[in-house]
Chains A and B, each alone.
Chain A
Amino acid sequence: MKQIKIQKILFWLLLLVMTFIYMGPFLFSLSISFNAEQDVFSWPIKLLPEEWTLNNYKEVWQGLPFGTWLKNSAIITAVQTICNVFFASLAGFAFARLEFPGKNIIFSLFMASLMIPGIILLVPKFILLNEISLINTYGGLILPGLVSVVNIFLMKQFFETVPKDLEEAALIDGCSYFRIYWQIFLPVSKPALAAVAIYTFQGAWNEFMWPVIVTTTSDMFTLPVGMSFLKNEFSVNWPLLMSGTILISLPTLVIFLVFQRYFVEGVASSGLKE
Chain B
Amino acid sequence: MAKVELKHIKKVYDNKVTAIADANVVIEDKEFAVLVGPSGCGKSTMLRMIAGLEEISGGDMLIDGERVNDLSPKDRDIAMVFQNYALYPHMTVFDNMAFGLKLRKFPKEEIKKRVEEAADILGLTDFLHRRPKAMSGGQRQRVAIGRAIVRQPKVFLFDEPLSNLDAKLRVQMRMEIKQLHKRLNATMIYVTHDQIEAMTMGNKIVVLKDGDVQQVDKPMTLYNDPANQFVGSFIGSPSMNFLEGKIEKTDRLYFRSRDVNFSIPENIEKQVSKLVGNGITLGFRPESIYDHDYEDRAQLTEKVTISIDVTEPIGAETFIYFKANDKEFCMRSSSGLVYENGQSLNIGFDVARLYFFDSESGKRLV
Q: Which residues of A contact B (CB under 8 A)?
A: 163, 165-166, 168-175, 179, 184, 187-188, 272, 274
Contacts and interface: CB of A to CB of B under 8 A. Distances in A.
A274 B133 CA distance: 8
Given A166-B88, A187-B90, 14 more contacts: A163-B86, A168-B51, A169-B80, A170-B88, A171-B52, A171-B74, A172-B79, A172-B80, A172-B100, A173-B99, A175-B103, A272-B89, A274-B84, A274-B132
The 8 closest A-B pairs by CB, nearest first: A165-B86, A173-B100, A174-B74, A169-B86, A174-B103, A187-B90, A165-B82, A172-B73
Given A173-B99, A174-B74, A168 B53 contact: yes
A168 B86 contact: yes
Contacts of A173: 74, 99-100, 103, 147, 151
A7 B365 CA distance: 76
A171 B73 contact: yes
Q: Which of A165, A172, A174, A188 has the most CB of B within 10 A?
A: A172
Given A274-B132, A274-B133, A172 B88 contact: no
B132 A172 contact: no
Nearest to B133: A274
B104 interface: yes
Interface string B150-168: 0100000000000000000
A184 B88 contact: yes
A274 B83 CA distance: 12
Nearest to B76: A172
24 contacts: A163-B86, A165-B82, A165-B84, A165-B86, A166-B88, A168-B51, A168-B86, A169-B82, A169-B87, A170-B99, A171-B52, A171-B53, A172-B73, A172-B78, A172-B80, A173-B100, A174-B103, A184-B88, A187-B88, A187-B90, A188-B88, A188-B89, A274-B84, A274-B89
Contact of B100 (A163, A174, A187): A174
A168 B53 CA distance: 7
Interface string B56-72: 00000000000000001
Interface of B: 51-53, 72-74, 78-80, 82-90, 99-100, 103-104, 132-133, 147, 151
Contacts, number: 62
A174 B84 CA distance: 19
Nearest to A167: B86
A50 to B, nearest CB: 56
B104 A174 contact: yes
A170 B87 CA distance: 9
Contact of B74 (A163, A166, A172, A274): A172
Nearest to A165: B86
Contacts of A184: 88
A162 B133 CA distance: 15
Contacts of B104: 174
Q: Which of A163, A168, A169 has the most C-beta atoms of chain B within 10 angstroms of its own C-beta?
A: A169
A188 B90 contact: yes
Nearest to B75: A174
A168 B72 CA distance: 11
A74 to B, nearest CB: 30
A165 B88 CA distance: 10
Contacts of A272: 89
Contacts of B147: 169, 173
A172 B53 CA distance: 8
Nearest to A168: B53
Nearest to B91: A187
Given A174-B74, A174-B104, A168 B82 contact: yes
B186 to A, nearest CB: 16
A104 to B, nearest CB: 15
Nearest to A164: B86
Contacts of B132: 274
Contacts of A170: 88, 99
B67 to A, nearest CB: 19
Contacts of A188: 88-90
A42 B51 CA distance: 79
Contacts of A175: 74, 103
Nearest to B140: A274
A122 B151 CA distance: 56
Contacts of B80: 168-169, 172
A175 B99 CA distance: 9
A159 to B, nearest CB: 14
Nearest to A272: B89
A254 to B, nearest CB: 26
B53 A163 contact: no
A262 to B, nearest CB: 15
Contacts of B85: 165, 274
A172 B82 CA distance: 11
Nearest to B90: A187
A188 B88 CA distance: 8
A165 B103 CA distance: 18
A170 B74 CA distance: 9
B223 to A, nearest CB: 33
A172 B156 CA distance: 11
A172 B99 contact: no
